[in-house]
Amino acid sequence: MEKLLVTGGSGFLGSHLCDRLIERGADVICVDNFFIGSKDNIRHLLGNPNFELMRHDVTFPLYVEVDRIFNLACPASPVHYQHDPIQTTKTSVHGAINMLGLAKRLKARILQASTSEVYGDPEVHPQVEGYWGRVNPIGIRSCYDEGKRCAETLFFDYHRQLGLEIKVMRIFNTYGPRMHPNDGRVVSNFIVQALRGEPITIFGDGTQSRSFCYVDDLIEGMLRLMDSPADFTGPVNIGNPGEFTMLELAEKIVQIVGGKASLQFMPLPQDDPRQRQPDISLAKSALGWEPKVALDDGLKETVAYFRKRLAA
Ligand SMILES: NC(=O)c1ccc[n+]([C@@H]2O[C@H](COP(=O)([O-])OP(=O)(O)OC[C@H]3O[C@@H](n4cnc5c(N)ncnc54)[C@H](O)[C@@H]3O)[C@@H](O)[C@H]2O)c1
């Protein structure tokens, strides 16, 4: 039986990953410090003999025996990662060092959940993996962006210097059930505001665009990357290239939720990129992966989740 470690396993993506791994018949250790993640996300797995939950902070070393490591631990939304920016950098950098050290000792394959934020506010559109990015090293988002960039550097140095089997995945905006309702991410924000009958907050004029990947597609990409041949390290973009403006997204959500919602315009936050869209040619050719879930379908699932959660 495969023994797998998922750090950040009680978070949004981590909990969906644990579900898929348990379905595959793996033995899963889920590690989380519950800074953001919630036991509610993994409660249904707690009685499963193949699932083990450990409260642990990845900035400290961890000693477990596993075959593969998925390193997802890190606050992912600006509200959360800016709450304690020093801890955010520590989580990315010390967390990577600790998990890479563990992988080295165990000769285990290790996957890093990196981010499209490594491209910063890009001059290249859509973003290809060869693009080095345009990142502010001293801004309020830098704890996340530069922390993730440094983690990628560490992964590639452990690979070159010590021959570790690494997989680096650059995740673009992902949404779906179990997102945090108050994390300031645009999809959850808009849905929660629409369900509460509050005005929908649009930053800037709403013409900035984003691409949105449904969580099931994202996890499928992550599993394919982990299972890919040993010489394929990435980095590889995983996201949905369909591009929508904030105004289009708000319109879709209001339509699904039903009723009427007004829009409230606010100034753009610092270093907010204007456009973000993945080039997924590499994921298609190397992993045979592309997203399947249309935005309307994914939004319906997500709205249904938040409707239930807000009613509870
Ligand atoms: N969701 C997205 O759109 C997206 C986009 C790009 C990258 N990512 C990356 O994917 C990963 C998972 O993102 P998510 O959306 O599930 O976020 P999330 O915040 O829901 O999950 C992250 C989890 O990590 C845990 N965590 C934070 N610091 C920790 C620490 N020091 N030790 C142990 N656990 C810790 C949190 O408690 C949480 O459960 C993150 O690394 C994130 O940077 C996500």
Q: Mean per-residue pLDDT for 80-96?
A: 96
Given a cut of 90, whether residue 195 has pLDDT beyond it is yes
The partner residues of 202 in beta bridges, in order of sequence, read 265
Cα gap 96→165, rounded to integer Å: 14
Distance of CA 251 to the CA centre of its chain: 24
Mutation pick for ligand 1 pocket among 36, 88, 143 (CB with most ligand atoms within 8 Å): 36
Confidence grade of residue 102 (pLDDT, cut at 50, 70, 90): very high
pTM: 0.96
Distance 7 CA to ligand 1 centre (A): 9
Q: For residue 206, what are the CA distances in angstroms to 68, 198, 209, 266?
A: 42, 17, 8, 10
- Cα→Cα distances 12→21, 84, 176, 183, Å: 15, 19, 8, 11
Q: Which of 36-40, 145-149, 267-271 has the lowest mean pLDDT?
A: 267-271
Q: How confident is the model at residue 271 (pLDDT cuts 50, 70, 90)?
A: low
Q: Which residues are paired to 201 by β-bridges?
A: 264
Q: What average pLDDT does this structure show over 250-265?
A: 90
Residue among 226, 143, 191 at smallest CA distance from 303: 191
Question: What gap in Å lies between CA 233 and CA 246, rounded to an integer?
Answer: 33
| The pLDDT of residue 275 | 73
pLDDT in tens, 148-190: 999 999 999 999 999 999 999 999 999 999 999 888 889 999 9
The answer to whether residue 276 scores a pLDDT higher than 90 is no
Residue 215 structure tokens: 């969580």
Catalytic residue, chosen from 81, 119, 144, 214, is 144
User: Among residues 71, 87, 153, 76, which one has the least CA distance to residue 115?
Assistant: 76
Dihedral angle sign, alpha carbons of residues 134, 98, 283, 13: negative
Alpha carbon distance 50, 46 (integer Å): 9
**pLDDT for position 11:** 96
Cα separation, 71 vs 84, whole angstroms: 20
User: What secondary structure, in 3-state letters, does the chain show?
Assistant: CCEEEEECCCCHHHHHHHHHHHHCCCEEEEEECCCCCCHHHCHHHCCCCCEEEEECCCCCCCCCCCCEEEECCCCCCHHHHCCCHHHHHHHHHHHHHHHHHHHHHHCCEEEEEEEHHHHECCCCCCECCCCCCECCCCCCCHHHHHHHHHHHHHHHHHHHHHCCCEEEEEECCEECCCCCCCCCCHHHHHHHHHHCCCCEEEECCCCCEEECEEHHHHHHHHHHHHCCCCCCCCCEEECCCCEEEHHHHHHHHHHHHCCCCCEEEECCCCCCCCCCCECCHHHHHHHCCCCCCCHHHHHHHHHHHHHHHHHC
* Best residue for ligand 1 mutational test, from 13, 56, 84, 88 (most atoms within 8 Å of Cβ): 13
pLDDT of 145 above 80? yes
Q: Is the pLDDT of residue 260 over 90?
A: no
Mean pLDDT of the chain: 95
**How far apart, in whole angstroms, are the C-alpha atoms of residue 77 and residue 15?**
16
Judged against a pLDDT cut of 90, whether residue 143 lies above it is answered with: yes
The answer to whether the CB of 74 falls within 8 A of the CB of 12 is: no
Which atom number of ligand 1 is nearest to the Cα of residue 117?
6
Predicted confidence band of residue 312 (pLDDT cuts 50, 70, 90) = confident
Q: Is 144 a catalytic residue?
A: yes
Cβ proximity of 188 and 181 under 8 Å: yes
The binding-site residues of ligand 1, defined as CB within 6 angstroms of any ligand atom, are 7-8, 10-14, 32-37, 57-59, 72-76, 80, 91, 95, 113, 115, 171, 173-174
| Burial (0-12, 13-18, 19+ Cβ within 10 Å), 97 | middle
